[in-house]
């Protein structure tokens, strides 16, 4: 299969989000993989150059290896729609909704998909009276997080009332809204999806075993303390049920190209609960999508080529 038909390809990496460092690592991996397969691929950092340069420099398509704000939230996707340059991953609306964990929950709830009970604290509700009422509703422990960040940034597991104020203040440094979620005790799993609509397929489930359950930013990217099981070792019925729910969650948000859902598997009854959908997952040496793909017999290079081959515009779709 000739890779020259894709023309000049920009790998968008870096960017301005809190996840810039991880994005540079993802982008470097993708760039090397594409180049090794004969793709005319080049690094492009939107934090250092205007996106208009993509058009000026004759890029025919973009592989988005940006994470977080201005990369995964529909803004870059919208700019590329205006420039008419096909890109990998979800379109404008799905990217924007998936980046907002509050909106994501609303859609999943509406479609009857399982996701933990939650309370949203708005900008004026970060005082002691509001924050201390949350554990009464959700129980303890609970999770406090900013709804628009990724990579576990600003997330706290709250075990007592006395921690609530500090946890909310930390999340509020990243976001005006603060999302408080009931904590699901059990196994942490993740499951990637590739494709679109009826042809979308779920890859093998990855089970995550973090030290003391602390699957945080440091452990995700910069240590080797976390264990990943793929094959997951879960009973086949559980693996299939997770994949079914993840595909439904992906379609519910209107995702395309690829994505990765994170879930908790409740210990008491083995019920999976959806936490979030990543529409521009990591592609670093520690990342989970390449790990899952490898278990399905797909090399990192083949994965990058497949994702690049799925690049397109929202506008193309609506015209069909």
In whole angstroms, what separates CA 248 from the centre of its chain?
16
Range 97-114+184-308 has CATH code 3.30.470.20: yes
Specify whether 219 is catalytic.
no
Strands 201-202 and 156-158: unpaired
Whether 234 has a pLDDT exceeding 60, the answer reads yes
Most confident by average pLDDT, 212-216, 282-286, 287-291, 312-316: 287-291
Least confident stretch, 2-11, 101-110, 198-207: 2-11
pTM for the whole structure:
0.92
Q: Is 166 annotated as catalytic?
A: no
Report the percent of the chain where pLDDT is more than 70. 94
**With bands split at pLDDT 50, 70 and 90, how would you rate the model's confidence at 273?**
very high
Q: How many helices (H) and strands (E) does the chain have?
A: 12, 13
Candidate list 278, 280, 287, 292, residue with the active-site label:
278
131 in Cβ contact with 164 (< 8 Å)? yes
Give the pLDDT score at 320. 43
In the chain, domain spans? 4-88, 97-114+184-308, 118-182
Handedness of CA 218, 203, 263, 97 (dihedral sign): positive
Confidence label for 210 from pLDDT (cuts 50, 70 and 90): confident
Predicted confidence at residue 3, as pLDDT, reads: 78
Residue 246 contacts residue 259 (beta carbons within 8 Å): no
Tokens read off for 135 = 């554990």
Mean pLDDT of 261-271: 97
| Pick from 76-80, 91-95, 205-209, 222-226: least confident | 222-226
Q: In CATH terms, are 97-114+184-308 and 118-182 the same topology? A: no
What pLDDT was estimated at residue 69?
85
How many alpha carbons fall within 13 Å on the CB side of residue 291? 21
Residues 23-51 have a mean pLDDT of 97
d(C-alpha 89, C-alpha 22), whole Å: 18
Question: Of these residues, 29, 282, 300, 314, which one is catalytic?
Answer: 282
How many residues are present in the chain? Answer: 320
| Residues 262, 66: Cα–Cα separation, whole Å | 19
Q: Give me the catalytic one of 19, 45, 81, 216.
A: 19
In tens, the pLDDT along 11-34 reads: 999 999 888 999 999 999 999 999
Instruction: Tell me the average pLDDT of the chain.
Output: 93
* Paired strand residues for 229: 207
* Residue 285 among the catalytic residues: no
pLDDT at 315: 78
Residue of 10, 122, 129 whose CA lies nearest to 65:
10
Cβ burial of 189 (10 Å; 0-12, 13-18, 19+) is buried
Q: What is the pLDDT of residue 319?
A: 47
Catalytic, 49? Answer: no
> Residue 141: is the preceding peptide bond cis (ω within 30°)?
yes
Question: Is 221 an annotated catalytic residue?
Answer: yes
Instruction: Give residue-wise pLDDT tens across range 167-202.
Output: 999 999 999 999 999 999 999 999 999 999 999 999
Rounded to an integer, the average pLDDT of 313-320 is: 68
Residue 218 pLDDT class (50, 70, 90 cuts): low
Q: Which two tokens stand for residue 32?
A: 């090397």
The CATH number assigned to the domain with range 4-88 reads: 3.40.50.20
Respond yes or no: is residue 215 known to be catalytic.
Answer: no
- Residue 239 pLDDT: 98
Distance between CA 58 and CA 143 in Å, rounded?
Answer: 46
- Out of 59, 87, 217, 221, the active site residue is 221
Which member of 20, 61, 69, 260 is catalytic?
A: 260
Fold exhibited by the domain 118-182: Dna Ligase; domain 1 (3.30.1490)
Catalytic residue among 26, 95, 151, 287: 151
State the catalytic residue, choosing from 81, 216, 238, 262. Answer: 262
Q: What are the backbone dihedrals phi and psi of residue 129, each rounded to the nearest 5 degrees, phi first?
A: -60, -45
Helix axes 300-309, 20-36, angle to 10 degrees: 90
Query: How far from each other are the two terminal CA atoms of the chain, in whole angstroms?
Result: 26
CA–CA gap between residue 35 and residue 187 (Å, rounded): 38
Contact call for residues 16 and 45 (beta carbons, < 8 A): no
Q: Which strands, in side-by-side order, build the sheet including 8-12?
A: 40-44, 8-12, 61-64
């Amino acid at each position: 299969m000739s890779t020259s038909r894709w023309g000049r390809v920009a790998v968008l990496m870096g960017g301005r989000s809190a996840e810039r460092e991880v994005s540079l690592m993802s982008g470097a991996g993708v760039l090397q993989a594409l180049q090794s397969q004969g793709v005319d691929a080049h690094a492009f950092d939107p934090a250092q150059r205007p996106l208009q340069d993509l058009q000026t420099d004759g890029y025919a398509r973009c592989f988005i290896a940006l994470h977080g704000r201005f990369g995964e939230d529909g803004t870059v996707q919208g700019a590329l729609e205006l420039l008419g340059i096909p890109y990998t991953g979800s379109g404008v609306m799905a990217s924007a909704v998936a980046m907002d964990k509050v909106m994501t929950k609303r859609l999943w709830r509406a479609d009857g998909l399982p996701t933990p009970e939650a309370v949203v604290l708005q900008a004026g509700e970060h005082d002691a009276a509001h924050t201390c009422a949350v554990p009464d509703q959700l129980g303890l422990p609970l999770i406090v997080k900013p709804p628009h960040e990724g990579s576990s940034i600003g997330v706290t597991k709250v075990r007592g009332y006395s921690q609530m104020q500090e946890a909310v203040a930390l999340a509020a440094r990243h976001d005006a809204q603060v999302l408080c979620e009931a904590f699901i005790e059990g196994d942490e799993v993740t499951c990637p999806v590739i494709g679109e609509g009826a042809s979308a397929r779920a890859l093998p489930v990855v089970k995550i075993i973090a030290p003391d359950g602390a699957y945080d930013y440091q452990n995700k990217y910069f240590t080797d303390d976390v264990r990943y099981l793929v094959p997951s070792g879960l009973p086949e019925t559980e693996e299939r049920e997770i994949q079914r729910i993840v595909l439904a969650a992906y379609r519910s948000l209107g995702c395309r190209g690829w994505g990765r859902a994170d879930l908790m598997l409740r210990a008491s009854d083995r019920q999976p609960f959806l936490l979030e959908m990543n529409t521009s997952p990591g592609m670093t040496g520690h990342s989970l999508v390449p790990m899952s793909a490898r278990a399905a017999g797909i090399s990192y290079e083949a994965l990058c080529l497949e994702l690049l081959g799925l690049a397109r515009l929202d506008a193309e779709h609506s015209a069909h």
